[in-house]
Structure 1
């Protein structure tokens, strides 16, 4: 593996760093001020539209999608340092570049598994940033860490329709008024012998009769506007044409796994950026504050926190880059161990770094005057999202033990 960034990556990094300095960081406070004046907390502040227009003008658009027909055609290794940069402002920068979850994963699903009509109707406006989307898998009544547990039913009626009945929650993106389409996972064959072939995915337009966005779900008290909010959604005998099936019947579990692999590494890339922002804030605070007769930067415990954070970030970055390289060279299946490793290691390490940064900022660390508390909530949530840590530990341990059985 070559650790040097290639020419295209370096060129994009330079442009993106400038874009962050000149447009994104100054817009953070503006977005909060504008949001406070909006009629609905889920409406999009005007500055976000301005950022998207500028990012598109500069060619910093859809960088996440490796398919050159639809996206920038970057490899995972090329995209990794770019996603890290956006992670420094995770509630604004990914959206500005049209690289925010859950739309990224949904676009990948449509590009890989959607038919021509589905790509025309839904993928193209998503790529253009004209609409948002949601991915509906998690359910409140079952342990969704095991995706085979989903209870939502997708029943074929007659020759031309599916009828969908179920309850989902923490459906990211569903509160955004621009959300137009749900990708819904449910069971088409609940009694099938192979539990991983019982599920399918269907496209459900948000305005379909029977779809009810019941309430917003908060995350550590935050409403998480950047992802378009998280919602509890009811599907009450929702009817869609059979042509809305994504891929094939029984392919839902495999599609979910294909979607989650890139999603997991994208989250880890951005988490490293969040940790870098935390280290920067720690250092600025340490050199600007005095306690007990000397600067915080001269306190041994503070120096230890900063040193440990730097070591941890460098370790994580190398593991994430290795994983990206493997995904590019041997495929997601060949990088399975490393994908699970970064999903386990990155959120918990970044949570620890953010916790130290909050401690160093005192009361300011838990306030709205610094981004640390919101970053902490996001990082801690990623110990659950895309599969809780324990599921990945279980699978990784089994793979290691198999060598000795």
Structure 2
């Protein structure tokens, strides 16, 4: 069975089970679009921003439509040995596809396959196609194409991305050795911040990423970061609206408290989660680690014991860094993280401001000179003194 373009209706008069494809789901009701966008302002006197699906129509021709057989061949039948990850909605495989014109060397790609025989996860799949079909930024992963088939043997939803050979920030922070150098950590966070700033400020409509975490920051061959997995992304509020009301989803330990409490989603929710990951790159610890002592399991609770202005702040730093980091830069990053984690969402910095702060931190001298080393611990600092 061939794949169908997302916005081309199937004119076949066959059984509904065979012809009910992603395009028809888009047109049969408002449910999918409501999962991707908020109702635009009704005032006709002011121009309304176009929704993501509307913007997608202009760019859908840039995406390649694959047949299921093409992607089976690309992954040798979705061979387990080629499986490189497992997302919330399906497995990810390394594969190789032919160039669009059929000439030249095969292109290495990552292929995400929804692990479902029903429609569970379809909205997330459709969200990824819509958002990644619209956005264009060096710090966002590039979607190359998709496959969508509804047939007697089940529903198939696949996405084809550019391949990121260095996997994720999560793997290098928590699973791999040697550890990421200090400057590389900051450069990764800077690139991620630039990607978020683009989503918040660089498009016709504001985009709330909603799932920023170290596992969704992928790294190319030069460790350049790119945000991935847009299945939970939402359009931001428009007109006089201050937030988007939605079910609370995401990863425990990262979600902003006001979002968890009320279900009100804003771009400030992304800024909170960015602050969590800033502390992950400082400490080398996950947001939640159940195997640690009770008082250390939740990262944000534990780091409160080591304020950036205190002498004992260095006890918070990832011990694998040794002295190979700038203590003054680390303090700046700690203060930046705290500002992102402000309980008052309105007082958090914008992502553009976060970008500028990280640029300044990167310009700090390295940690090898004595002038930049952390001060030694004294009895007063051990007791909480500053």
Alignment TM-score > 0.5, same fold: no
The structure that has the greater radius of gyration is: 2
TM-score, normalisation: structure 1: 0.23
- TM-score of the pair, normalised by structure 2: 0.24
